[in-house]
Structure 1
Amino acid sequence: MLRKSTNLLLTRTLSGCLQNLIKKPHIGLTELVQIIINTTHLEQACKYLEDFITNITNVSPETIHTTRLYGLSTFKDARHAAEGEIYTKLNQKIDEFIQLADYEWSMSESDGRASGYLMDLINFLRSTFQVFTHLPNNNNDHAAMSAQFEIPAGSGAAGKVAQTACMSACKHLSTSLMQMLLDSELKQISMGAIQQFNLDLLLPPLRGVMGLAAQRLLVGGHGSGPDTWTSHEGLQAVFASSEPVPGFQGDTLQLAFIDLRQLLDLFMVWDWSTYLADYGQPTSKYLRVNPSTALALLEKMKDTSKKNNIFSQFRKNDRDKQKLIETVVKQLRSLVNGMSQHS
């Protein structure tokens, strides 16, 4: 009877209270981390509660028909719910920062500085990931979530929660930035705006995540400030070896941005001949660039080119550029139409 009453207390009263607490809007990331810590210790204490009840009732839990305590599953479920809420709230916070973005989509050229909203976001993520260092280690959980985000084996609970949160944040940020570029409400984008967007994708990890030592590796003989780097490859190499959260292997974090990275590379290099020639090939340099995505962005640039060059018909370079854009647009539309016919 005592075991049954205890189980009712754990599975109905306590479990319900924990689940309701975790879902409350005012509960922040720090509080969720504390809930994970508390439920981990409570789970570990269940064996002592089992021993206490056994001493009172003189009935061993190994006896046939004896009900075992459900404390382990109660606290484990609460901990998993808290972890899931961490990932959700982290993405919501990223959305709040992105709403502060104020790009001048018609700018003629980038001013060479990373956007303030992204710098603030990276600083927030750095401080947030530090909170996860307080999590206790428990190697028996997190398998499903870790597998979803390709988290390496061998990390404890603290490491896996932090790694999953980091990868989830990177994927959400990449998706949100891509959606910003392709927003149907955004009608025109200049090449200068593309350059600024590309700069933002490069600099925040440099300043905010990699730290001063990594910055110094990138600074060459062409400048001395944190906004200077020697090459695109150099930045990518250092980013791959940086650890905003310990435990990632190789270019795991870079893969979260690969769709956006390849799209921006295509426009920055203006490498349409390579893209069109290699389209559909498994070794294509721009394998992750969907023709419909490239078309949507290029058409925004085509409209800008027409608007900003009223007298373009009198300038050969402008005429040639406009003809090239129109030619590429036609070829991309052909690829998109071909995809729709085969789907």
Structure 2
Amino acid sequence: MVPSLKKDWRTRKRIHPALIAAAEMADVSVDDLVQQVQALYSSDTTDADLQHLAPIIQLACSSSREADLVHELQAFADRKEQEIERLCNMNHADFVASVDQLLEVRQKTVQLREQIMTLNDDVQESGKMLGDKKKALIDTRSVTQNVTDAHTAITAALRPLHTLQSIHALIAEKKHYQALRSLDELQLIHLKDISQYSFAKLLESSMPATQKMIQDAVMGDLRQWLLGVREQSRLVGQLAFDETDRRRRSWHDRIMSDPVLNNAKLNTALELVLNEMNPFSAIDNDRVRIDFTPLHECIHIYSQLGLSEELRTSFEQDRRRQRDLLLPASLTVEGGDVAASLEVLLEDITGFAIIEQETLKQTRGTNLRSSHEINDLFASLTKRVMSLTLSALAKTSNPDTLLRVKNILVLFIQTVEGQGYDTKTLNAFILTLFEKYAGVLKEKFSIDFGQIVAEDDYMPMTINDVEEYEKVCSVSWYKTDTPAEHMRFPCALPFSQIFPLCCVDIRNFVNQYYLFSDEYTHSQNQVDDILKNSLDELLVQHVNKTLLQRLHTNNLGQVVQIIVNLEHFENACSELEQLLAETRSSHRTGAVKLKATNEFGVSRKNAEKRIFELVNSKIDDFLDIAEYDWAPSKPNPQPSSYLLELVRWLRTVMQSTMVNLPQNIRVFIYFDALDHLASELMKMLLSTSTRKYNEHGIANFDKDISYLEEFVEELNDPSISAADTFLELRQSVNLLRAENVEEYLNTTTRMKSYSRLKPQNAITMLEKQLANSSTISLSSLERNKSMSLKRVLENLRASERR
């Protein structure tokens, strides 16, 4: 502990050197301690130096010499007391005298002090009163000046403060322009009058905030106005639709009363002029009134603030956001009523578009809106509408839904067209929709026609009464010379039920087409062409193709009925062409020609050929059972049985199955059948399987030919009789039965009596006849004839070789 004390003592400047020396002693003796105490008190120490005893006491305690230290200190105190007593005894008298003098001086001093204090109190009291008065005067003057200054400042501040208060009141009352004018007055006039006051700077620093308050307030009113406009858009669109529909009906009535106006459509100059007497505004009427004052005020204030471009940008963004809010994700709604959902959407868009156009008119010259901007907005809306509509109708097969959608779109087009918007894209979309509508109608027709074909019995249609007859005639373009009241019922019409039922579907198809194109005045030529092509497709690819496929049957009655149906379809096409020419757009002239007309004609020819094939096939069946005996022992008493059956069948078929065929076709059938029969009989006569025939065989064949000739005569048809169908056969038989065969070598006789008989055929027949002569015993007459045959054959063969 000692070393640390040494270190602390060295650091203190006021520690007595003797103490430092004592502290440094390793082993302290009593004498040394006494010396240290004496050294301490022999020096000029003060009471404050008594603090230096502490180290000595601490040293004594640490060395266990406290008693020695106390003894030494007591001795030191006694010595000092003796010195004081000695000094007092030596100077007592002087001291007492001095004390008395001091007391007297003190007494006088006290008296003088009391007098001075009294005087001082008097002076202080007088000075205080005067000071108080002076202070009061100074304070009064200061207050007076302050009051004057305050009055001046308050008076100067009252007007700008009152103006500022009135500005806030005007903002609250939505008198934003007046507030802005007052703010300008405050800045330019009133603040200059109080520029020396510090609160003027506060007022001036608050001006931008007040200006921003006016700006925000007027923008808030504009946003509120835009919200109200958005909420009223649908009603505006509804009213615009109603007005367009009213104008459309009114114009239709006017056209009906004055056909001269037929070419003038809705929204044309003529219609607009004639409709001027009935002005209507979709935004200013009994049900809705849109006030553009908030917009004008906002434009004016932003213009005064130099923020016109900011307002234009903000307004454009707000309108685009409102546009986006109009458009749903899809038109698919509960219940699947696409048309109703589309109508609501188009009402919203129409209202939006009308308000945009009116905004453009109201703000012309302010650069707030431009035609380019609103046209872009409208174009984006219509593009989205078309996309939504196509998506919603992608799987639609109901023509009524497509028709309703088209009617709504046309009403929308006519409405916005009247507002000056470009509708070319929408009109093209209507044409696209029309093509889809045509496809749906064709699909529906195909299904219905398939059912009609499946249910058709290919029998003449039975009519039970006049009402049914007139109904069938009205829908199927069927005409007859016999009036309905003169007809007897039930009766049978030539065609089967496939024809009138198909005609009904065709009429409905055409009516639905024109129902779609009603009020659609754009691309009318394309609509007419689409209708014509669609009809051709239906009639050719469905009706005609189906009937052609049915021709493969071997049922002659069915083929005959198909021919009758084809003929009536061909006639109906002609009527349909006339109908299309009458109902198509009035500015187009010239005849309408359906490809189906020619196709039905071609198919009818094919059907006729099919009848020829079937009749000829039946004739071949009869001929297959003919089994001619060319060398019988005696002649037959009547024509061949197969021929009797054949003629009976042919007569029956022509009088029953083919009775509804046109006369010219029946004649052709007769002609072709008889020609085929004649050709086959000629083949039989010339057949290589027949080696010879005798007189009886030739006589029997002659009887058959005569029977056929009589049958032709009984037909009493000059065209068949004049055809000389069996002339070659007749000339062949005549040659074989001629008494003088050599007459054939005479050119004149040949040209007159055997003009149709070919020399080669004559050679073949004469050879067969000659072959019979060589196998029997001949009479002289028969021998002469045989010789004649040989000579004729030699001449004919020689002629053939040449």
What's the TM-score once normalised by structure 2's chain length?
Answer: 0.31
How many Å apart are 1:128 and its aligned residue? 1.9
Rate the CA distance shift 1:160–1:318 in 2: closer, same or farther, 3 A.
same
Distance in 2 between residues matched to 1:42 and 1:318, nearest whole Å: 68
How many Å apart are 1:283 and its aligned residue? 5.0
How many Å apart are 1:50 and its aligned residue? 5.8
1:41 matches 2:573: no
Answer whether contact 1:275 1:284 (CA < 8 A) is retained: no
Distance in 2 between residues matched to 1:303 and 1:68, nearest whole Å: 64
> Counterpart of 2:546?
17
How many Å apart are 1:252 and its aligned residue? 1.2
Corresponding residue to 1:109 among 634, 638, 660? 634
Rate the CA distance shift 1:287–1:59 in 2: closer, same or farther, 3 A.
closer
How many Å apart are 1:189 and its aligned residue? 1.4
Rate the CA distance shift 1:339–1:5 in 2: closer, same or farther, 3 A.
same
1:339 matches 2:793: no
Rate the CA distance shift 1:66–1:8 in 2: closer, same or farther, 3 A.
farther
How many Å apart are 1:266 and its aligned residue? 2.0
How many Å apart are 1:44 and its aligned residue? 3.2
Distance in 2 between residues matched to 1:291 and 1:51, nearest whole Å: 56
> Counterpart of 1:294?
762
Answer whether contact 1:272 1:328 (CA < 8 A) is retained: yes
> Counterpart of 1:150?
none
For residue 799 of structure 2, what is the amino acid of its counterpart?
Answer: G
Distance in 1 between residues matched to 2:721 and 2:568, nearest whole Å: 35
> Counterpart of 2:606?
81
Rate the CA distance shift 1:199–1:64 in 2: closer, same or farther, 3 A.
closer
Rate the CA distance shift 1:3–1:295 in 2: closer, same or farther, 3 A.
closer
Range with greater deviation from structure 2 (70-79 or 195-204): 70-79
Higher helix share: 2
Corresponding residue to 1:271 among 737, 740, 750? 740
* Number of residue pairs aligned between Structure 1 and Structure 2: 272
Q: Which runs of 5+ in 1 are unaligned?
A: 136-157, 210-238
> Counterpart of 2:730?
261
Distance in 1 between residues matched to 2:693 and 2:532, nearest whole Å: 67
> Counterpart of 1:226?
none
How many Å apart are 1:250 and its aligned residue? 8.7
For residue 38 of structure 1, what is the amino acid of its counterpart?
Answer: N
How many Å apart are 1:160 and its aligned residue? 0.8
Q: CA RMSD in A?
A: 3.1
Answer whether contact 2:636 2:700 (CA < 8 A) is retained: yes
Rate the CA distance shift 1:45–1:290 in 2: closer, same or farther, 3 A.
closer
Distance in 1 between residues matched to 2:729 and 2:586, nearest whole Å: 56
> Counterpart of 1:125?
650
SS of match in other structure, 1:269: coil
Distance in 1 between residues matched to 2:650 and 2:613, nearest whole Å: 14
Corresponding residue to 1:183 among 684, 687, 699? 687
Please list the CA deviations of residues 12-54 of structure 1 after superposition, one character each: whole Å capped at 9, or x if unmatched. 34333222222x14231x2222112222332333366568878
Work out which structure has the larger RCO, using CA pairs closer than 8 Å and 6 or more positions apart in sequence. Answer: 1
Rate the CA distance shift 1:14–1:302 in 2: closer, same or farther, 3 A.
same
SS of match in other structure, 1:338: helix
Distance in 2 between residues matched to 1:32 and 1:197, nearest whole Å: 33
> Counterpart of 2:555?
27
Corresponding residue to 2:718 among 222, 228, 248? 248
Q: Equivalences for 1:305-324 in 2 at 5 Å?
A: 305-307=773-775, 309=776, 312=777, 317-318=778-779, 321-322=782-783, 324=785
For residue 42 of structure 1, what is the amino acid of its counterpart?
Answer: F
Corresponding residue to 1:304 among 746, 756, 772? 772
Range with greater deviation from structure 2 (160-169 or 284-293): 284-293
Please list the CA deviations of residues 233-292 of structure 1 after superposition, one character each: whole Å capped at 9, or x if unmatched. xxxxxx64x3x2x54259415x1111110111122233313222x235575323333332
Answer whether contact 1:114 1:204 (CA < 8 A) is retained: no
In our comparison, the structure showing a higher alpha carbon Rg is 2
Range with greater deviation from structure 2 (80-89 or 61-70): 61-70
Distance in 2 between residues matched to 1:66 and 1:167, nearest whole Å: 36
SS of match in other structure, 2:737: helix
Corresponding residue to 1:198 among 699, 702, 706? 702
Q: Equivalences for 1:127-206 in 2 at 5 Å?
A: 127-130=652-655, 131-135=657-661, 158-204=662-708, 206=710
Range with greater deviation from structure 2 (3-12 or 278-287): 278-287
Q: Equivalences for 1:51-62 in 2 at 5 Å?
A: 59-60=584-585
How many Å apart are 1:69 and its aligned residue? 3.5
Please list the CA deviations of residues 285-307 of structure 1 after superposition, one character each: whole Å capped at 9, or x if unmatched. 23333332222122222222323
SS of match in other structure, 1:256: coil
Q: Equivalences for 1:200-219 in 2 at 5 Å?
A: 200-204=704-708, 206=710, 209=711
SS of match in other structure, 1:133: coil
Answer whether contact 1:111 1:196 (CA < 8 A) is retained: yes
Distance in 2 between residues matched to 1:62 and 1:82, nearest whole Å: 40
Please list the CA deviations of residues 92-148 of structure 1 after superposition, one character each: whole Å capped at 9, or x if unmatched. 21111111102222212203221100000000111122133313xxxxxxxxxxxxx
For residue 568 of structure 2, what is the amino acid of its counterpart?
Answer: H
Distance in 2 between residues matched to 1:251 and 1:134, nearest whole Å: 22
Rate the CA distance shift 1:94–1:250 in 2: closer, same or farther, 3 A.
closer
Answer whether contact 2:544 2:599 (CA < 8 A) is retained: yes
Distance in 2 between residues matched to 1:280 and 1:121, nearest whole Å: 37
Rate the CA distance shift 1:52–1:168 in 2: closer, same or farther, 3 A.
closer
Q: Equivalences for 1:89-100 in 2 at 5 Å?
A: 89-100=614-625
SS of match in other structure, 1:187: coil
> Counterpart of 1:223?
none
